[in-house]
């Protein structure tokens, strides 16, 4: 009786851990419209605000090039949306705050790397240091909005970039949590399977 209850409890735990693991992974969504360089609409009708970056406003000279760059990267494509572990789920306008991945490429970071957005440091997020470094490189290489050496009126970070070094890449925390959950699920499954074989 006790063994049957333990086995049932382990199965419930396994299902719970599996569901937990699945929620940590990115959710796929098809992009149906790009609004500007950091906002788009997915097939559910929800608006998505890209986490950790700020692209020039459409009213500025660099607004349209930033929008066109994001459009070329993701429009009509199925992307993976992943929440940030520091930011809220939605912004004050009700937009989902998400990292965007296409074929494993971090689109948020690519917008900064290519010079069409800045690291948006007004609010904390997992990948602050990484995106700040990419912004510095884009400025130095005069890419995108930085090609004339100035950028747009709203294309400077709102806080100074963090000093290099620090605690490493906070973005890797997500990958570590995912890996640990997967290992835990596998370990429980193997333990349960071994016990069945002994009987």
Convert 108-142 into a string of H (helix), E (strand) and C (coil). HHHHHHCCCCEECCCCCCCCHHHHHHHHHHHHHCC
Q: Is the pLDDT of residue 81 over 70?
A: yes
- Per-state percent for the chain, helix, strand, coil, to nearest 5: 45, 20, 40
Question: Of 77 and 153, which is predicted with more confidence?
Answer: 77
Q: Residue 42, by phi and psi: left (phi above 0), alpha (psi -120 to 50) or beta? A: beta
Asked if residue 6 belongs to a domain, the reply is no
Average pLDDT estimate for 88-113: 95
pLDDT at 183: 72
Average pLDDT estimate for 63-89: 95
Question: Of 18 and 60, which is predicted with more confidence?
Answer: 60
Question: How large a percentage of the chain has pLDDT more than 70?
Answer: 62
pLDDT at 87: 87
| Structural domain boundaries enclosing 85 | 26-168
Average pLDDT estimate for 164-175: 38
Q: Using CA atoms, how far apart are residues 78 and 75, in angstroms rounded to an integer?
A: 9
pLDDT at 131: 97
Residue with tokens 């709102």: 158
Asked if residue 188 belongs to a domain, the reply is no
Average pLDDT estimate for 148-162: 45
**Beta strands 78-83; 96-102: pairing state:** antiparallel
**Among positive and negative, which fits the CA dihedral 128, 130, 136, 141?**
negative
Least confident range of 28-32, 79-83, 183-187: 183-187
Asked if residue 3 belongs to a domain, the reply is no
| CATH code (residue 89) | 2.40.50.90
Question: Of 135 and 147, which is predicted with more confidence?
Answer: 135
Average pLDDT estimate for 32-51: 97
Q: Are 111 and 50 in contact (CB under 8 A)?
A: yes
Q: Is the pLDDT of residue 196 over 70?
A: no
Q: Please write the tens of the pLDDT for every residue from 105-140.
A: 999 999 999 999 999 999 899 999 999 999 999 999
Q: Which residues are part of the catalytic machinery?
A: 49, 57, 95
Asked if residue 71 belongs to a domain, the reply is yes
Asked if residue 141 belongs to a domain, the reply is yes
Domain count, the chain: 1
Asked if residue 87 belongs to a domain, the reply is yes
Question: Of 8 and 105, which is predicted with more confidence?
Answer: 105
Asked if residue 180 belongs to a domain, the reply is no
Band (180; pLDDT cuts 50, 70, 90): low
pLDDT at 170: 36
Asked if residue 18 belongs to a domain, the reply is no
Question: How large a percentage of the chain has pLDDT more than 90?
Answer: 57
């Amino acid at each position: 009786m006790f063994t049957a209850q333990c086995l049932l409890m382990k199965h419930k735990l396994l299902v719970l851990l599996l569901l937990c693991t699945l929620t940590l992974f990115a959710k796929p969504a098809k992009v149906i419209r790009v609004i500007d360089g950091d906002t788009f609409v997915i097939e559910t009708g929800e608006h998505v605000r890209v986490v950790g970056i700020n692209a020039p406003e459409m009213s500025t000279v660099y607004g349209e090039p930033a929008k066109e760059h994001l459009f070329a990267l993701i429009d009509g494509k199925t992307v993976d949306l992943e929440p940030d572990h520091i930011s809220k789920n939605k912004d004050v306008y009700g937009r989902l705050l998400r990292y965007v991945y296409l074929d494993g490429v971090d689109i948020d970071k690519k917008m900064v790397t290519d010079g069409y957005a800045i690291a948006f440091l007004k609010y904390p997020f997992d990948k602050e240091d990484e995106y700040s470094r990419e912004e510095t490189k884009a400025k130095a290489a005069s890419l995108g909005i930085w090609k004339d050496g100035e950028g747009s009126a709203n294309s400077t970070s709102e806080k100074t970039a963090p000093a290099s070094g620090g605690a490493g890449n906070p973005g890797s925390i997500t990958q570590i949590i995912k890996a640990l959950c997967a290992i835990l699920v596998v370990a429980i499954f193997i333990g349960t399977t071994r016990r069945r074989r002994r009987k």
